[in-house]
Amino acid sequence: MSIDLRDESIPKQKFTAKSILIFLILFLSGSFIIVYSSNQLIEANKRKTWDIAVATVLESSVVETGSMRPMVKYSYDVDNKTYTGSSNLQAPGFGNKARQYDVAMKLSRKYPKGKIISIHYNPLNNSESVIIITPHWDTYTRIAAGVVLLIISLFYLFYSVRRRRKNIIQQSLAHQ
């Protein structure tokens, strides 16, 4: 006995609100994460074109901002005007407090008071500056997580359609 899947007796597929909601949450979350993190990559690429200035470290310390981070404050001159900036050197903020403190202290010691460093400043807004121009360490991880969420959402959609189709065919066979 063969089944003609084009037969009018097979009811149309309907998705449940739960399956649509799960798909939308996964898909939109993944999309948002990718767009947000991609913007950070774009900003990091723009910083590569910023002008370079010589700066003097004013202070280097470890601060607690929910996690222990190094904080480097520096001053630099552009067009006979002095600007100040600061950076946490993109130190990761995970691990226990002792580990965070050790990492922050090692980074902080690389920038002692009075050290001459190179910084990159925005030529359109001279007061905007950074020591490190590369994207933050977790940007690529977030993009990968967003891609994984998108893939999971598409697999979920595919298997939801497949499961519904299988259930509908089984119901049609049972009624014959």
Question: Which candidate, 97, 114, 107, places its Cα nearest to that of 71?
Answer: 107
Residues 24 and 96 reside in one and the same domain: no
**75 & 102 share domain:** yes
- Residue 175: predicted pLDDT: 66
Q: Is 98 left (phi over 0), alpha (psi -120 to 50) or beta?
A: alpha
Best CA proximity match to 146, nearest among 9, 47, 16, 33: 33
pLDDT greater than 80 at residue 170: no
In a domain, 4, yes or no: no
In the chain, the number of structural domains is: 2
Let me know if residue 157 belongs to a domain. yes
Q: Could you tell me if 24 and 99 lie in one domain?
A: no
Identify the three-state secondary structure at position 164. helix
Q: Do 127 and 151 fall within a single domain?
A: no
Confidence class for position 65, pLDDT limits 50, 70, 90: confident
Helix axes 17-47, 139-175, angle to 10 degrees: 160
Say if pTM beats, i.e. exceeds, 0.85: no
Parent domain of 86: 49-132
Asked if 116 and 87 sit in the same domain, the reply is yes
Q: Is position 6 within any domain?
A: no
Give the Cα separation of 145 and 30 in Å (integer).
7
